[in-house]
Amino acid sequence: MSTFSDALVVAADSALRTLFAAPRASQPCPTVPERHDDGALSTEDRRLAGALMRVNHVGEVCAQALYTAQAFAARWPGPGGKASNEALAQQLEEAGREETDHLAWTKARLDELGSRPSRLNPFWYAGAFGLGLIAGRLGQGPSLGFVVETERQVEAHLASHLDRLPAEDHASRAIVAQMKLDEARHARQAQQAGAAELPAPVKGMMRMAAKVMTTVAHRI
């Protein structure tokens, strides 16, 4: 059983690893080897693909922050001596570990395209951690509901990137397609675990925050 101090150390370690260490995937990067030829991409296509993959990388930085914060909140003892929720914390951490694959894949693809991550990643991480902490402190139902809505919005966002990525960028498209499948699965798992439906105004604010992030990260 993890103590609160242990949870604090884990949260700090996750932040440092996400922001300053090279991510390591546990699964091979999705690809289409026989069609992976970046030499076929024009300069403009490489620039567009790099910008879109930078946005996706930011999304994975935020995913690490959200899952870490929600797991931390689940281990935070409630008022009146209410016990922490270790089972929920472990479920969130498992999802976060799977998202680490996405973090590694998008970073590797940025390197291949000669692009870079967002310079604002510490800011994105801090903001997402704060949101995750608030959601986590509301209890299991709202916390999982936040996961469901986040993953649904991310899935829709990835679908839009499949429409925008250059047709010849098979490597980026393979990564995004796999990420989309994984996000949908995470949403289903959270739903099955007892997610509560979030109010419409909360969903709207989440979409607005995501719009700001994706617009800025596309350029910076």
The per-residue pLDDT for 173 is: 92
Q: What is the model's pTM?
A: 0.87
Q: How far, in Å, are 73, 152, 179 from residue 182 at the CA level?
A: 24, 11, 5
DSSP-assigned letter for residue 44: H
- What is the Cα–Cα distance from 144 to 196, expressed in whole angstroms? 7
Report which residue type is found at 147: V
The per-residue pLDDT for 93 is: 82
- List Cβ neighbours of 9 (8 Å cut-off, separation of 6 or more): none
Could you list the pLDDT tens digit for every one of the 220 residues in the chain? 456 667 677 778 888 788 887 888 888 888 766 556 666 788 889 899 999 999 999 999 998 998 899 888 888 766 544 556 788 888 888 888 888 999 999 999 999 999 999 999 999 999 889 988 888 888 888 888 988 999 999 999 999 999 999 988 889 999 999 999 999 998 998 888 888 888 888 888 888 888 888 888 888 8
Q: How far, in Å, are 74, 77, 104 from residue 83 at the CA level?
A: 9, 5, 35
The per-residue pLDDT for 162 is: 93
The per-residue pLDDT for 80 is: 47
